[in-house]
Chains A and B, each alone.
Chain A
Amino acid sequence: ENVLTQSPGTLSLSPGERATLSCRASQSVSSTYLAWYQHKPGQAPRLLIYGISSRATGIPDRFSGSGSGTDFTLTISRLEPEDFAVYYCQQYGSPPLTFGGGTKVEIK
């Protein structure tokens, strides 16, 4: 199983700041099979990024994904108030598909 480790566990930032979230895989992720989700309490998770860097429908361009192999990054260029949430990475290159433990982006 490809274990995904996200860091930091919590990121305390102010609106307007840049957020950089890390996702490290225990094995190389096949092809470009990595996605990112946003999750707010009591709401449905939302797909942000798939294929490492492709934005899902309706996702603003302040969200970007990058990386390869075992190291991946989600960047939020300028935090908006609605961006404070928990973010999860997911690999789908090798079964079973797995998720990271999440990074909480909170208001400083």
Chain B
Amino acid sequence: EVQLVESGGGLVQPGGSLRLSCAASGFTFSSYVMNWVRQAPGKGLEWISYIDLTSSTIYFADSVKGRFTISRDNAKNSLYLQMNSLRDEDTAVYYCARDHGKTTPYWYFDLWGRGTLVTVSS
């Protein structure tokens, strides 16, 4: 089955860190550029990060730049999001999302996971 499964969410204090993982299966993960998108409670979707096939091109939304790191391990079919200096406003469900494009991004997403909840609170 073609799917993405996120894990690693939980409760963390402000200023803390958390590492999210996204396990891909059913398709050739190494052939697709990938993204993270989040949704805060009661809010819409927010794109936060992009990584290309070889991890050589990476982008972040201004809201997380300098605090979050994205990486991937093509041998393990996995995408990661390292989140540092977490703030209350980072509370959200975090989704990994496959870009429709392969070697180059199309910037719309044809496969999503169910998400993992991150709660930042003291």
Contacts and interface: CB of A to CB of B under 8 A. Distances in A.
Interface of A: 33, 35, 37, 42-47, 50, 56-57, 88, 90, 92, 95-102
Contact of B107 (A57, A97, A102): A97
Interface string B28-58: 0000000000000001111100000000000
Which has the most chain B C-beta neighbours within 10 Å: A43, A46, A97, A99?
A: A97
Contacts of A88: 44-45
Contacts, number: 52
Interface of B: 4, 43-47, 59, 61-62, 95, 97, 100, 106-115
Contact of B110 (A56, A97, A98): A56
Given A90-B45, A98-B47, A45 B112 contact: yes
B112 A46 contact: yes
A33 B110 contact: no
B44 A45 contact: no
